[in-house]
Amino acid sequence: MRSFSHMSRRDALKSGALAAAGMALAPLVPGTTLARLASAARPRLELITKPIPSTGERIPVIGLGTNQYSVETAEEMAELQAVLEAMADLGGSVVDTARVYGRAEVVIGELLERMGNRDDFFIATKTPIRGELQDPDVEIQTSFDQLGVDTLDLMLIHNMHGLDELMPAFIRWKDEGRIRYIGMSTSTDSQYAAQMEAMRRFPLDFIQVDYSIANRNAADEILPLAGELGIAVLVNVPFGGRGDGAASTFGRVADHELPGWAAEIDAESWAQVFLKYVVSHPAVTAAIPGTTQVRHLVDNQGAGRGRLPDPALRAEIERFWDELG
Ligand SMILES: NC(=O)c1ccc[n+]([C@@H]2O[C@H](COP(=O)([O-])OP(=O)(O)OC[C@H]3O[C@@H](n4cnc5c(N)ncnc54)[C@H](OP(=O)(O)O)[C@@H]3O)[C@@H](O)[C@H]2O)c1
């Protein structure tokens, strides 16, 4: 159960009440971290949410990816707990993980238990990405056990692995009310055709797919198909992927000031421009940028507030990006 102080702080942030009261956040929280978070995320700006087409439930457009959450030490756990706490405080909720991310499911399960605010989060995970599969019920139950949950918000089949064996069990667990939403995930163009075929064949609530200013291939067919079929879309690798992908995306703009149009969409950093571009695609429901750092979490959550680019500005952002190349 959530503590009163947590609820009041979060609800106040969401409603903008603290902003209206002159940003009197510091007295609520010891230390300087939250005050910095609050000003960075500018709670005066409205939280942007989008509906999951199959139910109409709205989720915040900026979530969190956790493929770097396989940690062990108490110090590392504390750092990641700070990231999750900041996320909840700023109104974010969608956390994406997977069995293949080492200890990530266990880490997230432990941190949610410790924080006591499981209900603030929308948790997505994925079945194994490779190797021989056990009985589908065992595969699903393993994630439940690692995350320490009785019900799960979203379960995805990872990179098509075991699609036909796993999907009947996904549907059954959903019918039994233990999984709220089902779907599948890829981050590779070479799997788009197979994923689109499965989108037509199975009653999916969600897909996950890669899409960024630097790689817009998903916009050709798979995003329009998701829109047509009423399937929610979580965007993975919105900066191009950890390591070289994100380094190259941020590197391309490293010597450039934000153009004047950034202010028109309430973007104060390149990360916010990139994320606002991604989530303004009409078929995209939310993006899950990966981070292990509070300062990046705050930056990214800031993209989930205020205005998004309209089609004309989306085209301008694309032109700007392409001319840098
Ligand atoms: N097939 C699949 O289903 C699939 C495949 C890949 C990924 N995913 C999911 O998608 C999530 C996102 O992908 P990703 O994490 O690989 O790539 P990403 O979100 O495109 O980029 C993450 C990288 O960007 C850095 N970063 C984050 N926020 C930043 C900011 N505001 N300013 C500057 N740098 C920033 C991160 O470093 P710091 O940690 O230092 O912040 C990290 O190196 C994953 O975590 C995972 O949950 C799914």
Q: Per-residue pLDDT tens for 43-98?
A: 589 999 999 999 999 999 999 999 999 999 999 999 999 999 999 999 999 999 99
Tokens 């609820």: give the residue. Answer: 7
Query: Which residues lie with the beta carbon below 6 Å from any ligand 1 atom?
Result: 65-68, 96, 158-159, 185-187, 208, 236-242, 245-246, 250, 271, 288-293, 296, 299-300
Cβ–Cβ contacts within 10 Å for residue 227, how many? 15
Closest CA to 161 of 125, 137, 182, 191: 191
Give the pLDDT score at 37.
Answer: 55
Q: Answer yes or no: is pLDDT of 11 > 50.
A: no
- Mean pLDDT, all residues of the chain: 90
Q: DSSP for 122-152?
A: EEEEE--SSS----HHHHHHHHHHHHT-SSE
Task: Quote the CA–CA distance of 279 and 307 in Å, as a whole number.
Answer: 11
Cα gap 6→294, rounded to integer Å: 18
Tokens of 304: 């989930």
CB atoms near residue 7 (< 10 Å): 13
Ligand 1 centroid distance, CA of 135 (Å): 31
Q: How far is the CA of 126 from the centre of ligand 1 (A)?
A: 16
Q: Ligand 1, residue 290: give the atom nearest the CA.
A: 15
Pocket test of ligand 1: the residue of 242, 276, 278, 292 to mutate, having most ligand atoms within 8 Å of its CB, is 242
**In angstroms, what is the span from residue 157 Cα to ligand 1's centroid?**
19
Residue reference for tokens 């630097």: 214
Going from the Cα of 67 to the center of ligand 1, the distance in angstroms, rounded, reads: 8
Whose Cα sits closest to atom 4 in ligand 1?
187
Q: Regarding the domain delimited by 49-324, which CATH topology (the fold level of the hierarchy) does it fall under?
A: TIM Barrel (3.20.20)
Flag whether pLDDT at 143 surpasses 70.
yes
For 132-141, which contacts have Cβ atoms below 8 Å and span 24 or more sequence positions?
Answer: 133/161, 133/162, 133/165, 133/166, 136/162, 136/165, 136/166, 136/168, 136/169, 136/170, 137/169, 139/99, 139/166, 139/169, 140/166, 140/169, 140/170, 140/173, 140/179
Length of the chain as a residue count? 325
The predicted model gives 199-222 an average pLDDT of: 98
Average of per-residue pLDDT across 309-325: 97
Q: What is the pLDDT of residue 23?
A: 33
**Position 34 pLDDT exceeds 60:** no
Q: Whose CA is nearest to atom 26 of ligand 1?
A: 291
Q: For residue 126, count other CB atoms closer than 10 A to its CB.
A: 24
The answer to whether 160 and 186 are in contact (CB under 8 A) is yes
Residue 129 Cα: closest atom of ligand 1? 1
Atom of ligand 1 nearest to the CA of 289: 19
Bridge-based pairing state of the strands 152-158 and 94-96: unpaired
Ligand 1 centroid to residue 17 C-alpha, Å: 31
Q: How far apart are CA 143 and CA 127, in angstroms?
A: 8
Question: At 325, is the pLDDT very low, low, confident or very high (cuts 50, 70, 90)?
Answer: confident
Burial of residue 102, with CB atoms counted within 10 A of its CB: 0-12 exposed, 13-18 middle, 19 or more buried: middle
Cβ-contact 92, 62 below 8 angstroms: yes
> How far, in Å, is the centroid of ligand 1 from the Cα of 289?
5
Listed residue (166, 185, 68) closest to 124, CA to CA? 185
Please identify, by atom number, the ligand 1 atom nearest to the C-alpha of residue 241: 17
How far, in Å, CA of 117 to CA of 108, rounded? 12
- Segment 149-155 mean pLDDT: 97
CB neighbour class for 252 (10 Å; exposed up to 12, middle 13-18, buried from 19): middle
**What's the pTM?**
0.91
Q: What was the pLDDT predicted at 44?
A: 80
Supply the pLDDT for residue 20: 30
Distance 288 CA to ligand 1 centre (A): 7
Q: What is the whole-number distance in angstroms between the Cα of residue 242 and the centre of ligand 1?
A: 5
Identify the residue whose C-alpha is closest to ligand 1 atom 34. Answer: 296
Please tell me the distance between residue 290's alpha carbon and the centre of ligand 1 in angstroms.
3
